[in-house]
Chain A
């Protein structure tokens, strides 16, 4: 297979020497990239804030395609699952969409009494020059709730720049609420979006450890909680791509330190809890012991359950292509627990540091790729003859067409994969796809058996 000349440095084969990979580069025009845009990045990060109004300022598409597609569940309000759009038309493009936006905010805020409103600026809004910030300011004064502009014009960069815009929007809320009565052993959970209820699993662990969670950014998120986030003593950041910006801002502004964690897989989950316990060991003498007890119990339960899956999956090979490279690290480790070997790994938006870590962790010969496309991915997985592909919506049918098992580790997952309980679900999910009898019926495997 030909790899586009300008992309050749975005693919390496790990040889244990730490070869450098080119990343954080704009996609070549014309490539069938699996990446999305700035707006997409902002939308997915802010979306789970369930008691806020999310208004997409632009033509209808941007609102339509992001309408309830992410399974970020809420324990209360469901306002985030509706789709609000200014639905800009040609006359708005000519005369500007400001009036329409203002009228819409006026109507919607009266109707729904949300705790805050986020206004997403899309591509065309950036070009026609609507002053979204000014309207937001005006409506904030008029309606007495925070109306926050999200500068997420699609062309401004990649999905990662959208994360930054979302963090800027959240930063408008942080620091505006009262922090009285907050425990000295308290954290914010960052970069956890409550897909299939994952935040609830993680929160349960913290509860058992005796830690107060001030807010989750942004899974099952609430505006009032976000306003108090600066009262936490530690920020715990998962999915580093999306939330590092706000963690850094809060460190500078409020002196709150942060740590990076992952809740996927056994070691990373346990390590996350231990790191946090260690941080609070001075304030709470019993926390280490409680955490050890918790982890021990969870792992004990887990090991027995995993054994059955391991027997079937041992020696099988996997390919991983996900949004952020940090998650790929956890996935490689989690797959090892199932006896599986990762032979292809890539991400849409990984940075140099992420890729360095990936190379260190990956076995020699592993193909490591940044910003890949279907043609490349198909050829890599056939070359390595994998049994499992871990990816998102656009990769699923490709894997199936090739006769390869699939696990969705993106926002379309239907079951929680985080936490110790998530590890079992992950094993189940992988197992049910990899050992499915359907693969004996598909031509590729069938012919190989001859």
Chain B
């Protein structure tokens, strides 16, 4: 047993995180920046940060992930990283020729007090930014928030750096999808298109991190929100921010800069959250929900009814990011399942409030923790005390699943050992069916593999 070192008895810890259910801010900023067309993320810090983030994203997407680094030295720490960043900017525009550089900071550059805003201004003043090229940036000290807040900060940075307005309002809706997979972003665009609504979705990593095999290496793939699209977001009728943790800051920024009203919704995972998303989209855009969506919804409800007996009362342990966990918990409860244990390394009071809201009376019976020490170690200890029927989370759940013999569904970031997340959405009604399929496969495969011969049934 790999996790034989986890004791059942829960010990109060004062100072440590064991096997985290989060990672640090910069990787979120890097992922968000990849959702901008012809944009090279740039990590202002030591070389390792950039290398780790690129490796982690590469493992998750199985696609090349490009990013530059300021390659800090001991000298940079003493004298500040300005010279590194200026040289970096100039090298990047000369050699890699992106349209945009998206700079994010690290714990190191933040602690020594580099002012990226001022450095970027200096780069412009010194003529290091060619005509028509842009530098956007955000602050992502690794000792604040988590990868989710890093994503959120870069989304706000994208708005600050690229959003604009012509002064003439349009019927376009801005949608900030949150930290979701390229497949989810593609599905949200499909939904809007089928509803006949013009949208700008940002960031948009579809066709960036899920590119087709072409025999060519493209430093900047075809996807990503374009500068041109961002330049009209200030004229849009409204912004829908999916997930308050990852998307609210960007929507707020658009409101502050261009008075674009916004609405924060859950990521449309599961039936109820998708209902709210479709309703909001239709009411904000002033369009009727097409019949095809009634049918789509009907198919999801049909699968739920067909298989409801297998969901009833099943206890679920889950971990991951707040914006995913909130609608997922709601969906599980809609299915008559029972979330029992939940951790998220991302801090923020709102998480607990929303989980309580969507869980209702069940909340009192649940173990829920986020922020400090809400790690995989704690989750495992809870599981040792009350064994669930299903575990849902990123790849790091596989140790617990194996040790405790629990069916396991991979959802979230990172997924290092399976594919599918890039290609099959979990948002929307059809995404709901995919979640059902994955949960049923896991639960029933486990049953088929472990039940007695008498209980073994052909037809389920």
Contact = CB atoms under 8 A, between A and B. Distances in A.
A31 B68 contact: yes
A137 interface: no
A260 interface: no
A259 interface: no
**Which of B85, B87, B215 counts the most A-chain CB atoms under 10 A from its CB?**
B215
A59 B48 contact: no
Nearest to B42: A30
A449 interface: no
Interface stretch (A100-108, A220-228, A301-309): A100-108
A150 to B, nearest CB: 14
Given A60-B146, A93-B111, A393-B55, A108 B16 contact: yes
B182 to A, nearest CB: 14
Interface in A46-101: 58-67, 69, 78-79, 81-90, 92-93, 99-101
Interface in B62-117: 62-74, 76-77, 84-85, 87-92, 94-96, 106-108, 111-112
Contact of A27 (B15, B71, B211): B71
A32 interface: yes
Interface in A389-405: 393-394, 396-398, 400-403
Contacts of A63: 17, 20
B10 interface: no
A375 interface: yes
Most chain B CB within 10 A, of A28, A88, A396, A401, is at A401
Q: How big is the B interface, by class?
A: 35 or more
Given A29-B71, A37-B47, A128-B111, A82 B141 contact: no
Interface string A327-353: 000000000000000000000000000
B86 to A, nearest CB: 8
A61 B17 contact: no
A40 B17 CA distance: 20
A77 to B, nearest CB: 8
Nearest to A85: B17
Contacts of B419: none
Given A27-B71, A59-B107, A37 B48 contact: yes
Contact of B372 (A87, A90, A401): A87
A82 B52 contact: no
B20 A90 contact: no
A118 interface: no
A290 to B, nearest CB: 38
B14 interface: yes
Contacts of B52: 36, 40, 61-62, 65-66
Given A29-B85, A33-B47, A112-B5, A398 B16 contact: no
A277 interface: no
B4 A443 contact: no
B19 A67 contact: yes
Most A Cβ at <10 Å: residue of B20, B48, B69, B377: B48
Contacts of A34: 51
A297 interface: no
A107 B49 contact: no
B70 A375 contact: no
Interface string B207-244: 00001011111110000000000000000000000000
A37 B108 contact: no
B213 A442 contact: yes
Given A40-B51, A90-B143, A61 B84 contact: no
A122 B77 CA distance: 13
B47 A158 contact: yes
A154 B71 contact: no
B108 A155 contact: yes
Interface in B159-186: none
26 contacts: A27-B71, A29-B70, A29-B71, A29-B87, A30-B90, A30-B95, A37-B47, A40-B52, A59-B24, A60-B17, A60-B142, A61-B52, A62-B24, A82-B19, A82-B377, A85-B20, A87-B17, A89-B143, A90-B141, A103-B15, A112-B5, A157-B73, A375-B217, A397-B64, A403-B213, A445-B215
Q: Which 6 A-B pairs have the closest CB atoms?
A: A37-B48, A444-B215, A61-B24, A30-B88, A30-B91, A154-B46
Interface of A: 2, 4, 26-40, 58-67, 69, 78-79, 81-90, 92-93, 99-101, 103-104, 107-108, 111-112, 122-124, 126-128, 154-158, 374-375, 378, 393-394, 396-398, 400-403, 442-445, 447
Given A36-B48, A59-B107, A60-B142, 9 more contacts: A2-B94, A29-B84, A30-B70, A31-B69, A92-B143, A107-B15, A128-B111, A401-B64, A403-B215
